[in-house]
Amino acid sequence: MKALIIIAFFMLLPNTSFAYENPDQKATCYLFKNNKLQKKSACLMQTGGGAGGMYAILTFNNKKYHFETETMTGNYEITYYPNNNLNKPTSVAPYYRDQKTLKILTQKESESRENLLACRKTKDSTLDFCYRSY
């Protein structure tokens, strides 16, 4: 009986966590500096996740922009990995822009609109990056 319980435990163990990878998506990426658009172009978006987080890697202008969102605590903190380097995490703040005017929106404005750009900005403004997937 004890052996059956141990076998059942090890058979169920792989099913206690999961990870997934979504198909690549086409997106449009935007790079800002001092609140001015520097570059806009088509980009490739790879997304996925697992127990505790989600990731998005956007390939834009021959560079990878790697973001991870923590989902365990409900804070949904977002981390950016410059140059796709997992050893140098940087905290970023999410915000939204209007897709047509590129105006920064308040949280309340973003809740009542469609066609938004999802944006990520570092505290020191070295990165101000937005994207929209299709």
**How many Å apart are CA 57 and CA 47, to the nearest integer?**
6
- pLDDT for 36 equals 97
In the prediction, which pLDDT does 109 show?
92
pLDDT at 17: 54
How many domains does the chain fold into? 1
- Pairing mode of beta strands 53-60, 19-21: unpaired
Say if 83 falls within a structural domain: yes
Give pLDDT, residue 21.
79
Does residue 103 lie in a domain region? yes
Tell me, yes or no, whether 15 lies in a domain: no
Q: At 110, which helix (H) or strand (E)?
A: helix 107-111
Mean pLDDT split into 10-residue runs, the chain, 134 residues: 44 55 92 97 94 92 94 88 86 96 94 93 95 91
67 within domain boundaries:
yes
Structural domain for 84, as ranges: 24-133
* In a domain? residue 64: yes
pTM over 0.75: yes
**Is there a domain that residue 11 lies in?**
no
